[in-house]
Amino acid sequence: MAELGAKVLGAVDAETAHYLTIRMLKDGWGPKVSLETPHLAMEVAGLSFPNILGLAAGFDKNAEAADAALDLGFGFVEVGAVTPRPQEGNPRPRVFRLRADAGVINRYGFNNDGLEVVAARLKARERKGIVGVNLGANKDSEDRAEDYVTGVRGLAGLVDFFTVNISSPNTPGLRALQGKSTLEELMRRVLTARDDAAPGTPVFLKIAPDLADEDKADIADIARATALDGLIISNTTITRAPNLRSAKAEEKGGLSGKPLFAMSTALLKEFYGTVGAEVPLIGVGGVSSARDAYEKILAGASLVQLYTALVYEGPGLLLRILNELPSYLDADGFQTIAEAVGAAAR
């Protein structure tokens, strides 16, 4: 059945396949996995994660299948990105498979059902695992910082963590929020809203992989100064390596998957060298094997997320990673995954 489903999804365009996958999970067609992984458990920002592997934002944009995704074996799920008002996003086609490169380019543009609908879905779900939300800003918003504040207030009590996403390349001007003075003001307002509406709920910041050195230093300083609960490293890249082989490699948008792995992991290691254990790091970008996940951990990640690899490998990838990770720990003499965090960056 899984092989048949994969063939069907591979035969249609990428966005339709995405929609059908969400629909199948909602309708209960996904596997339900029960896997005990105490050696892969992790404590981050006051949350107890049953394992370090999470589903990255962008898959379940509208919080339609969070519990079904947890049933696949993920230690946590991040839904969204969610904006205060619904928006259609950019015109189709807007997502492209790069099969020869095991990558995907998307320019979705924060298409989602809006805060009110997503809040209702989260309120109705079974609270059986860790689910966070990726917050975005509407394309036509006059005060984008206020959009993030609205998201925090509107979803308070319904999620286990908030992610401030200012690094999507598909909303014009959004990445400008990574500038020092703008980011300081944004985080001040978001954290004030969190303390008021959802005290104790962790706030993470998701950054771009294409940062200038000055921006990296500023973000590290702000993360420490504001007692940010974590950095997610990283979003998709707007750069294109010259060795990409796929015909769609020059499409505009953010590139994810295997071509992003080296860049995002190098940035992760760099930030760990700067902030150390002061600010927990979540590694995302190009993870498609247990070795990839382990390299993120060694580079400084306390948690790891994936998404694009599922397009090519299917949900069985998750169990392969979780089952194989202990062998890497054993080979390096680590008893738990926590002991391995940052070992290659110290």
Please identify every residue annotated as catalytic: 168
The token pair that represents 61 in the structure block: 């944009």
Residue found by looking up tokens 């994810």 in the block: 256
Dihedral class, residue 101 (left if φ above 0, else alpha if ψ from -120 to 50, else beta): alpha
Q: Are 216 and 271 in contact (CB under 8 A)?
A: yes
28 φ/ψ sector (left φ>0, alpha ψ -120 to 50, else beta): left
* Residues recorded for the chain: 346
Rounded distance between C-alpha atoms, residue 228 and residue 217, angstroms:
15
For the chain, the distance separating the N- and C-terminal CA atoms, rounded to the nearest angstrom, is: 46
SS3 202: coil
List, as one string, the DSSP characters of 321-341: HHHHHHHHHHHTT-SSHHHHT
103-106: strand order across its sheet: 95-98, 103-106, 254-257
Residues near 260 by beta carbon (within 8 Å), at least 6 away in sequence: 103, 209, 234, 236, 237, 285, 286
